[in-house]
Amino acid sequence: MPKQKLSEKEIQKWILDYLLANRIGFFWRNNTVGVYDPTRKCYRKNKSQVNGIPDILGILYGQFVAIECKKQGRKVLDENQKIFKDKFELNEGHYYLANDIDDFVSWIRELEYILKNEI
């Protein structure tokens, strides 16, 4: 019987738990839904909010890190996410598309090693 693929939410939770348990940097879940307007019965987007912001943001050894989570095996960013990623990396941020736990652990450990040794 094939192993069930992890959902986007499960990957987000696992990554945040892993980072916290292993005391890696300072990371948080980026909630971008907006503010609920009970009169209109919908979410209002903040005018200063940027489209395509990743699910998890954080700081690791003074460097800004962004992690976009997708369902296990999914490797496609939407157009706004691609634009954000390009701008983020252009400004020397570290961006990762997380869709596999083992690959994420390898990436964050390598990034941690590189940044720690740059200091």
d(CA 76, CA 98): 11
**Percent of the chain having pLDDT more than 90?**
73
Q: 20 lies in which domain range?
A: 8-118
Asked if residue 1 belongs to a domain, the reply is: no
Q: Is residue 76 part of a domain?
A: yes
In a domain, 71, yes or no: yes
What is the per-residue DSSP string for 46-62?
Answer: PTTPPTT--SEEEEETT
Tell me, yes or no, whether 88 lies in a domain: yes
- In a 10 Å sphere around its CB, with 0-12 CB exposed, 13-18 middle and 19+ buried, how is residue 113 labelled? exposed
Specify the DSSP class assigned to residue 27. Answer: E
* 3: in domain: no
- Count of domains in the chain? 1
What mean pLDDT is predicted for residues 43-66?
87
Structure tokens at 86: 């390009």
Would residue 69 count as lying in a domain? yes
Where residue 37 falls among pLDDT bands split at 50, 70, 90? confident
For residue 65, the domain's CATH number is 3.40.1350.10
With bands split at pLDDT 50, 70 and 90, how would you rate the model's confidence at 47? low
Q: Rounded mean pLDDT of 21-50?
A: 80
Please compute the mean of the pLDDT values over residues 105-116 and round it to a whole number.
Answer: 97
